[in-house]
Amino acid sequence: MKKALALAVLALVVAAPFGLKPYGIYLLSLWAVMTIAAIGLNLTLGYAGQISLAQASFVGIGAYTAALLTTQGWPLGAAFALAALLCFVIGWLLGYPALRVAHHYLAFVTLAFATLVYLILRNEEWLTRGVYGISGIPRPTLLGWSTKAPLDFYFFCLGVLALASAAAWWLLRSPWGRAFTALRENPVRASSLGIDTRRYTLMAFAIGSALGGIAGVLYAPLVQFIEPTAFTLGLSFNLLLMVIVGGAGRFGGPFLGAAVSVLLPEWLRFSEGLYLMIYAVFVMLLLALCPSGLLGLAERLRDSWPRFFKSAT
Amino acid sequence: MLLAGLATGGIYTLVAIGFVLLWQTSQTINFAQGEFVMLPAFFVLAAMKFGGLSFAAAMLVGLVVSLLVLGLLFKRLVVDPVIRHGVLPLVISTIALAILMKEGVKEFYAADAQPFPAAWADTNLQFGGAVVSVQNLVIIAVAVLAVAALQYFLGGTRTGRRMQATAQNPVLARVLGIPVGRMVLYTFLINAALVALASFLVSPIYLAKFTNGETLGLVAFVAAIVGGFNQVRGAIAGGLLLGVVDNFVAAYLSAQYRAAIPLFLLIAVIMLRPQGLLGRAEERTV
């Protein structure tokens, strides 16, 4: 059942771009990129139970790394390696002091960090060109396969997404991942079972941040023009809401949440500025009624379906 | 200079105290606290623009609406339904609330900064060569009065003591016959009054704009942590410290990186004294 669903989704995302206009393909690529960042945040939020408000900053760090390196003629692969390493180390350094205390501290340390990253991106013009941003970011060529066309680049994004989700899948099935889950379910019991809770939480946050960096490396050649305001708190909130709406701590959550978050503004275009307000109210209702997100809601419906059926007959 | 810092700190303090009170009595971490400060100014502006009220009457209306919306409705509609799922969903819910409030003001009132009338003269006084702005003096005076009144209420009256008991041990408070639910509601109302006050003080300086809340919310939390999360005294010390440091750094070091100060203070305090400057270490409950 689950396998069939996964295959159907896979077939859908492979077949979807054919027949779509370039803008539709752009939206699909954006979905793939945001899903990677959301998978990273899901590790932090859904499995380790920590709120990070700096995921957009890590996406930004990744995007600027890619933009700076590739416009200098470096291959995108180097940007992937450097961005992932950079975000991992920064995440570790940020999380280390914050996790000494209590869970809500990381939220505010990352919030302050997001402000700092924005200020650096805006003010250090020698490196980031400040508010003018960086344009003309080239799309990569892979073993002679040029991904310049939107469709080719979408499949490139999809490939990276597949790798990232496979890595996350493997991580969550490993003893490490089980420790993450134990941590979320009951941190006190986990620590009494000999799990070093702080180290695992820190690792989840650092790995999640690294995935944010990887998403950023894809984001830069996707939009081909980046500037500081793209990576402010708004995007962090958006990523956070993606994870929550989809279903935090569920593997499929980020995929669904990112789809809702990327596509909903298009569907609600008629409402113009009201869109964000509708979305915010929707999230608040969802949290009040079903904090496990849309996937949790679907599960609940599925479980209650036979009962409903029985009572009807 | 120091005075300007103390004035800024006074405003931070009001916001931080509300934050700490909410945390103490109901485990609510209000991520929309900054937006709570942004909104009351717009209630006043709207009352003047659409209701044709005078400034004084509009302030009163703004305060009452703040109490209703940011106190009562916030508790009933946002906190109560979500808190039973835990602290984490509530944090996310207040984040969504912050977005809702920001977008609401942008959509229904104005996207650009609105001038906000001051309740006092915008002049400077001369004190033997030193120039002192009346505005800063008024802010400090109001903040001190508000904090003193709050301290008296919490420590000197029957209701205040019951509220403190509720914050310290809700179960025991209930056993002693204290209406815990109502005490928690009072806390939300006090928080609403504090943010409304802060709003009226800060808006004449920075103008009323829908993005005002972003930094204020962060600063309030940093002030609370720096001072000690579980102490009203701590919030006062943290707020004042942050205001003074903020103004000095902006003047002498770097105006560009002014907004990064909270980060450095926050990390320094967490590394050196995680319970805050005046705080007690909190015991973990299993």
B253 vs B50: CA distance, rounded Å: 44
Give A239's contacts (C-beta < 8 A, 6+ positions apart).
A34, A37, A38, A41, A55, A56, A59
Mean pLDDT, rounded, for A193-206: 79
> Looking at the domain assignment, is residue A108 inside a domain?
yes
> Looking at the domain assignment, is residue A151 inside a domain?
yes
pLDDT of residue B125: 65
Instruction: Name the residue with higher pLDDT: A305 or B200.
Output: B200
Contacts of B214 in chain A (CB under 8 A): 233
**Closest CB from A104, A105, A274 relative to B107:** A274
The pLDDT mean for chain A works out to: 80
The pLDDT mean for chain B works out to: 79
Overall residue count recorded for chain A in this entry: 313
The answer on pLDDT for B255 being more than 80 is no
A104 vs A102: CA distance, rounded Å: 6
The answer on pLDDT for A18 being more than 80 is no
Q: How far is A142 from chain B (nearest CA, A)?
A: 40
Closest CA relative to residue B218, chosen from B19, B76, B40: B19
Do residues A219 and A80 make contact, with C-beta atoms less than 8 angstroms apart? no
The answer on pLDDT for A309 being more than 60 is no
The answer on pLDDT for A98 being more than 50 is yes
With CB atoms and an 8 Å threshold, state whether B92 touches A107: no
**Closest CB from A49, A98, A115 relative to B270:** A98
3-class state of residue B126 by DSSP: strand
**Closest CB from B81, B99, B266 relative to A237:** B99
Is the Cβ of A107 closer than 8 Å to some Cβ of chain B?
yes
Is the Cβ of A233 closer than 8 Å to some Cβ of chain B?
yes
Residue B154 token pair: 């919490």
Contacts of B272 in chain A (CB under 8 A): none
With CB atoms and an 8 Å threshold, state whether B99 touches A280: yes
3-class state of residue B9 by DSSP: helix
Mean pLDDT, rounded, for B112-124: 69
With CB atoms and an 8 Å threshold, state whether A112 touches B284: no
The answer on pLDDT for A287 being more than 90 is no
- How many domains, chain A? 1
Contacts of B218 in chain A (CB under 8 A): 108, 111-112, 115
Contacts of B226 in chain A (CB under 8 A): none
Domain spans of chain B, in order of start = 2-213
Domain that holds residue A76: 20-231
> A262 falls in which pLDDT band (50, 70, 90)?
confident
A109 vs A50: CA distance, rounded Å: 12
A301 vs B206: CA distance, rounded Å: 49
Give pLDDT tens digits for B40-90. 888 888 888 887 778 778 888 888 888 888 888 888 888 877 777 777 788
Q: What angle do CA B150, B151, B157 make, to 5 degrees?
A: 90
Do residues B170 and B8 make contact, with C-beta atoms less than 8 angstroms apart? no
Residue B71 token pair: 């106190």
Distances A56 to A37, A210, A240 between C-alpha atoms, Å: 8, 12, 10
pLDDT of residue B280: 59
Instruction: Give the chain B residue nearest A238 (alpha carbons).
Output: B96
Give pLDDT tens digits for A113-171. 888 888 888 877 777 777 777 777 777 777 667 777 777 888 888 888 888 888 888 88
> Looking at the domain assignment, is residue A138 inside a domain?
yes
**Closest CB from A188, A240, A277 relative to B92:** A240
Do residues B34 and B171 make contact, with C-beta atoms less than 8 angstroms apart? no
A102 vs A95: CA distance, rounded Å: 11
Do residues A291 and B89 make contact, with C-beta atoms less than 8 angstroms apart? yes
3-class state of residue A145 by DSSP: strand
> A88 falls in which pLDDT band (50, 70, 90)?
very high
Distances B124 to B81, B115, B200 between C-alpha atoms, Å: 49, 20, 20
pLDDT of residue B284: 45
Mean pLDDT, rounded, for B191-218: 81
The H or E element containing residue B132 is strand B130-133
Mean pLDDT, rounded, for A281-286: 84
Closest CA relative to residue A114, chosen from A60, A186, A179: A60
Is the Cβ of A47 closer than 8 Å to some Cβ of chain B?
no
Is the Cβ of A145 closer than 8 Å to some Cβ of chain B?
no
pLDDT of residue A59: 92
> Looking at the domain assignment, is residue A117 inside a domain?
yes
Where in chain A does DSSP place strands (E)?
A: 134-135, 141-142, 145-146, 225-226
Instruction: Name the residue with higher pLDDT: B88 or A52.
Output: A52
Do residues A247 and A126 make contact, with C-beta atoms less than 8 angstroms apart? no
Do residues A137 and A66 make contact, with C-beta atoms less than 8 angstroms apart? yes
Do residues B189 and B71 make contact, with C-beta atoms less than 8 angstroms apart? yes
> Looking at the domain assignment, is residue A211 inside a domain?
yes
pLDDT of residue B127: 63
> Looking at the domain assignment, is residue A251 inside a domain?
no
The H or E element containing residue A232 is none
Do residues B25 and B173 make contact, with C-beta atoms less than 8 angstroms apart? no
> B14 falls in which pLDDT band (50, 70, 90)?
confident
Longest dimension (CA), chain B: 60
Is the Cβ of A112 closer than 8 Å to some Cβ of chain B?
yes
> Looking at the domain assignment, is residue A247 inside a domain?
no
Q: How many CB atoms lie within 10 A of CB A305?
A: 10
Local structure of residue A50 (DSSP, 8 states): -
Segment of A299-303, B189-193, B235-239 carrying the highest mean pLDDT: B189-193
Q: Which of B80, B84, B87, B92 to mutate to test the interface with A (most CBs of A within 10 A)?
A: B92
Q: How far is A67 from chain B (nearest CA, A)?
A: 24
pLDDT of residue A103: 58
A11 vs B233: CA distance, rounded Å: 60
Mean pLDDT, rounded, for B33-43: 86
User: Which residue reads 């200079």 in tokens?
Assistant: B1
Do residues A87 and A209 make contact, with C-beta atoms less than 8 angstroms apart? yes
> Looking at the domain assignment, is residue A304 inside a domain?
no
pLDDT of residue B286: 37
Give B76's contacts (C-beta < 8 A, 6+ positions apart).
none
A49 vs A205: CA distance, rounded Å: 10
Give A190's contacts (C-beta < 8 A, 6+ positions apart).
A179, A182, A183, A197
Residue B24 token pair: 């103490």
With CB atoms and an 8 Å threshold, state whether A287 touches B256: no
Total-model pTM: 0.80
3-class state of residue B130 by DSSP: strand
